[in-house]
Amino acid sequence: MFILTRKRKVEVGTETALLPRLLWRRVLHLELLRATNGFDESNLLGTGGFGPVVYKGSAGVTRPDRPGLDLSKQPPDVRLIKVLDFILTFKLKGEDLIRESGIPYTIVRPCALTKEPAGADLIFDQGDNIMGKISREEVAQICVAALESPYASGKTFEAKSVVPFSEPFTVDPQNPPPEKDYNVCFKTLKNGITGKEILEQDPVPVQCFAYT
Residues 42 and 53 in one domain: no
Helix count and strand count (H, E) for the chain: 6, 9
Q: If phi over 0 gives left and psi between -120 and 50 gives alpha, with beta otherwise, what is residue 90?
A: alpha
Range of the domain at 198: 48-208
pLDDT tens-place string over residues 127-165: 999 999 999 999 999 999 999 999 999 999 999 999 998
**Pairing mode of beta strands 122-125, 206-208:** antiparallel
Is a pLDDT exceeding 50 seen at residue 18? no
Sign of the torsion formed by the C-alpha atoms of 88, 93, 96 and 102: negative
Count the domains in the chain: 2
Residues 34 and 138 in one domain: no
Please give the residue that has the higher pLDDT: either 6 or 73: 73
Alpha carbon of 116 to those of 23, 133, 138, 180: distances in Å?
30, 10, 9, 17
pLDDT tens-place string over residues 156-208: 999 999 999 899 999 999 999 999 999 999 999 999 899 887 534 455 555 56
Closest CA to 106 of 57, 60, 141: 57
Residues 172 and 71 in one domain: yes
Residues 105 and 63 in one domain: yes
- pLDDT-based confidence at residue 48 (cuts at 50, 70, 90): low
- What is the rounded radius of gyration, in angstroms, for the C-alpha atoms of the chain? 20
Highest mean pLDDT, choosing among 45-49, 65-69, 131-135, 206-210: 131-135
